[in-house]
Amino acid sequence: MKLPLPLAFYVFPVVCVLAGVASQYSGLDTGLERLFYDSQNQQWPYRDVWWTEKLLHRGGRDFVAVIVFGMILFALAAVFNSKLARYRRSAGFVLLSSLSGIGLVAILKASTHIYTPWDLAMFGGQYPHIRLFDAVADNLPVGHAFPAGHSSGGYALVSLYFIARYHHYRHSSLLLYFALGLGLIFGVTQQMRGAHMLSHDLFTLAICWASCLAWYPMLKPLAESGPPGTYDGARPGPVNDSAGR
């Protein structure tokens, strides 16, 4: 059976997961965090500074919320406005894949026992450093740190790249760079603050990308049977997008 997307699209999230596990068990996670931790004063210098906490953390969260709100409004408009009916499946794909990625990350965060760096005993906190496959003591609370929630707001926007690529937008790779860049900025910001580690963000990227793959088949019937000349019914052809190959 022919895959609807190149094989690399399906391999990528697996690579992210393997890289995340390697980062945890090789010590790369904690090694990077030591670069941002002031061991002499036992504090995180970038935790509460204006540009990390207010601009990139709170401001970034609000920025993504505005984008998601816009997605919801457009999806509703496509449902109730006949002039936008041809965009329904595209709008639905973007909204569902984006919210699924963010939602799944939130669910896992509320279930795992992997802690933020500032909560770890090695960085002045009170909890042990627990990795993905480590045993967890019964008396330990949920960590609320893994996968990374903040970067999910950026990485979830890879849905825009998927839909642009599907419709042969010539510069669809720009949307890929935007989503990955935004997620990277959010992720590094939280790592500098002591709120997350590298592996947390790699798993988040894998989840958001996989969410797009999971919802992508909803576009296939339109590609095969949609009426000629409609936006959602355009038949896929060669894509001039080097970033997707």
| Residues 167-223 pLDDT 10s | 999 999 999 999 999 999 999 999 999 999 999 999 999 999 999 999 999 986 444
Mean of pLDDT values over 23-51: 97
Question: What distance in Å separates the CA atoms of residue 188 and residue 218, rounded to the nearest whole number?
Answer: 33
> What share of the chain has pLDDT > 70, as a percent?
88
Per-residue DSSP letters for the chain?
---SS-HHHHHHHHHHHHHHHHHHHHTHHHHHHHTT-BTTTTB-TTSS-IIIIIIIIIHHHHHHHHHHHHHHHHHHHHHH-GGGGGGHHHHHHHHHHHHHHHHHHHHHHTT--PPPGGGBGGGTSSB----TTS---TTPPP-S-SS-STTHHHHTTHHHHHHHHHTT-TTHHHHHHHHHHHHHHHHHHHHHHTS--HHHHHHHHHHHHHHHHHHGGGGHHHHHHSPTT-STTPPP-----GGG-
pLDDT category, 234, cuts 50, 70, 90?
very low
Q: Has this prediction a pTM greater than 0.75?
A: yes
**Cβ–Cβ < 8 Å for 152, 179:** no
Neighbour count for residue 217 (Cβ, 10 Å): 10
